Structure 1
Amino acid sequence: MQVWVGEYRASIYREGEVWTGVISLGRQPDGRRLRLKRRAATQRLLMRKLVQVADDLAKGVRAERNYTVQNAAEDLLKVLAGKGLADTTVQAYRTLIDLHLVRQLGQAPVRELSADHVEHWLFGRAEVLTTSTLQILHGLLKRALRRAQRHDKVARNVAELVDTPRGRSPRRSRSLTLPQAKALLRQALDGGDRLGPYVAVGLLTGLRTEELRALRWQQVDLDTSTVLVTRSARAGGDTKTPGSRRGLRLADLAVSALLAARTIQAADRLAVGAAYQDSGLVFARPDGTALTAAHVRDQFRLMTQAAGLGTSWCPRELRHTFVSLLSDTGVPTQKISDLLGHHDTTVTETVYRHQLQPVIENGAERMQDIFTSLLTASA
């Protein structure tokens, strides 16, 4: 039976126990016929489905009726990975989508998603996510639906109609006190932890976590006690800013930590043998491959626990501690800014304001004295 549904002619026929309707849309570029098919238990239900199809077609939408938010998100991730985005970034996006989007909205067909659905979902996530993370997640949904819209899978991007709510306040970064720094440095140098040299160098130099994970032996000169910071574990291997490329003098304790790292790697090579992947990294896994941020975070918390500091600390707080210790001994803000790889003192004064002395008059550089005394002075 032939019927008109809006501007489209449809063929309706019975197939066993169900009714089938087919709308012909001509031919595809390769010559194959392009048809939309729907099935329903009754003829009346089938007509409702065909009317919906015709309405979508009038709006320029040719989406499969089961094309879901999860499908749209997966398609976006494939595109992002194909554009050369860093694997770590794509994985971070995937984790956010899996944990906070798919579980709540993933099974909803994009054509049935409403602004109310998105708003309700965002306000629910605002209870557990920070504002910045919420903005990233909302942005991913917008991009996924924008791509679906561009490919005629949905008529409008309802996520664009909703404002991102304010999330929970992020945990403020802290710095270790001098006694806590002593305890952690003792654990790093004498506790037998594989991550010990990493933690010691991070505490003694103020390097960013991504700079430490990407540090190679060719950047280190143990004879002159210097390190050149020229790369990081960011996309493309570049440092965060051009000003982040810098040279640093190493405290004696940092040199000792690097020698310990070299000893650990020599033992790894013997244990792993031909399977060892020598990437030239200073800090690596037992097989020579690069450390991940998650691995460093987990091992770092085990170390802080072993040092009697609990498990609430993050690796980036080694850098904050570095600032705090220098500031407490009168090192000028400009010098601290240079050591951190900041373009000027603005970031140093804003991000680390809570760790800087209000007035700094003594311009003497005392890094070596500070860090050497950590193990010689009483805790």
Structure 2
Amino acid sequence: MATIRKRTLPSGKIVWLAGYVDGGGKRRFRQFPTRKEADGFLLQARTQVAAGVHTPDSVSPTVAEAAELWLKRCERDKLERTTVLQYRGHLTHHIGPQLGAVKLSRLTVPLINEFADNLLTAGRSRVLVSRVMVSLSSIVTEAQRRGLVTANNVRSAKPIRRSSREDARPDMPTREELKTIIDATPGQWRPLILTAIFTGLRGSELRGLLWDDVDLRKGVLHVRRRADRFNAFGPPKSKAGTRDIPLPPTLLITLKAWKLACPNGPLGLVFPTVAGTVQGHANILHRCFWPLQEAAGITVPGKDGKPEAKFSLHALRHAAAALWIGQGLSPKRIQTLMGHASIAQTFDQYGYLFEARDDEAALLAGVEKGLL
């Protein structure tokens, strides 16, 4: 039986005490500053109890407590260290400060939407906010699995959509800049830069590439692993990341020559350090890619006004996709070569390049000719 009664606290403050019976038959109480709020809560609680989806405040953990349970499961399931660190960063810098003390039972859709809006207002990118929301949803899902909450309201919150004003086009070198980069690359780094440009491998895939993955006889590169920021080997980012990429003639000749000069090591890496160990991502940037751009004049003004390298190593991956699209490869083929999980991801990244194909004018002229 649900009840509401007026109560005067020792401090003299007046509150309204709502009482009800939960799904387990136990009497529960919760106080509110106004009768209207108490009425609203009881209406919601009775509906949830009847549907078997009610979680009392007294047994509900906070978002921060539920997050720790989720992170422990991520570690138990042996997720990569970088992934767990990223999740913990979401909790420490974004979720915790605003929602950490909130009980899961009080994590309502309006509160979640307000949380996302606050992040956007604070200048966080829509991509980052989307990732944080995925982490928050995973926290609640794990709590559901443990029976600590009955509903995941994060799934009902409004999705984070890309603003039409945001430039979705990835930053990448032009053909002229690519030629300049290739000409400026010193000999020992040339095989790595050429491989990045002509295969579209991610930086982690380049660093984890083994000679066993490169078929120099057939001219095919097999992507089977990557090296994370801690230089530990792991599978590609997704199932689609496992792929085969044909090697163009010049790159094939370059890799054959590089295999003879490549530092030997127990791991059999294609692009190792001098000692034969895994090359660090920062090492590639600081010792190779950034200096060669600065030497070639491919720079932008830095924070201190001094010129600095214009592109990240990942920009070469985008450039590879642009080169393939320019040669007329189909969107599905581009998806396969890039290791994208879906064709939608390919179009989100490079749709404008397909629209700007050089043969578009000829195709349109053909349509016109057929009519006129």
Match of residue 370 from structure 1? none
Do residues 216 (structure 1) and 210 (structure 2) align? yes
Contact 2:213 2:224 in 1 (8 A): no
1:101 pairs, out of 80, 95, 103, with 95
Do residues 187 (structure 1) and 181 (structure 2) align? no
Question: 1:338 Cα deviation (Å)?
Answer: 7.3
1:138 pairs, out of 133, 136, 143, with 133
Residues 360-375 of structure 1 mapped to structure 2, 5 A cutoff: none
Question: 1:124 Cα deviation (Å)?
Answer: 1.9
Contact 2:90 2:135 in 1 (8 A): no
RMSD: 4.9
Do residues 198 (structure 1) and 192 (structure 2) align? yes
Contact 2:64 2:101 in 1 (8 A): yes
**Equivalent position amino acid for 2:320 in 1:** F
Of all paired residues, the percent bearing the same amino acid is 22
Do residues 282 (structure 1) and 300 (structure 2) align? no
| Residues 249-270 of structure 1 deviation map (CA, whole Å, 9 limit, x = unaligned) | 344356446755875635xx6x
Match of residue 174 from structure 2? 177
Match of residue 311 from structure 2? 313
Do residues 249 (structure 1) and 247 (structure 2) align? yes
Aligned residues: 302
* C-alpha distance in structure 2 between counterparts of 1:338 and 1:114, whole Å: 41
TM-score (norm 1): 0.59
* C-alpha distance in structure 2 between counterparts of 1:219 and 1:198, whole Å: 15
* C-alpha distance in structure 2 between counterparts of 1:307 and 1:71, whole Å: 52
Question: 1:181 Cα deviation (Å)?
Answer: 0.7
* C-alpha distance in structure 2 between counterparts of 1:289 and 1:61, whole Å: 54
Q: Residues 171, 256 of structure 1: CA spacing in aligned structure 2 closer, same or farther, 3 A cutoff?
A: same
TM-score (norm 2): 0.60
Do residues 55 (structure 1) and 34 (structure 2) align? no
Question: 1:159 Cα deviation (Å)?
Answer: 3.1
| Residues 195-233 of structure 1 deviation map (CA, whole Å, 9 limit, x = unaligned) | x542221113333445423321112355x4834314133
**Equivalent position amino acid for 2:263 in 1:** Q
Question: 1:140 Cα deviation (Å)?
Answer: 1.9
Do residues 337 (structure 1) and 333 (structure 2) align? yes
Contact 2:211 2:268 in 1 (8 A): yes
Q: Residues 335, 62 of structure 1: CA spacing in aligned structure 2 closer, same or farther, 3 A cutoff?
A: closer
Match of residue 350 from structure 2? 352
* C-alpha distance in structure 2 between counterparts of 1:243 and 1:142, whole Å: 25
Match of residue 119 from structure 1? 113
Is there any run of 5+ residues in structure 1 with no aligned partner, and where? 1-5, 7-41, 270-277, 362-379
Q: Residues 343, 209 of structure 1: CA spacing in aligned structure 2 closer, same or farther, 3 A cutoff?
A: closer
* C-alpha distance in structure 1 between counterparts of 2:237 and 2:147, whole Å: 40
Contact 2:173 2:311 in 1 (8 A): no
Do residues 231 (structure 1) and 220 (structure 2) align? no
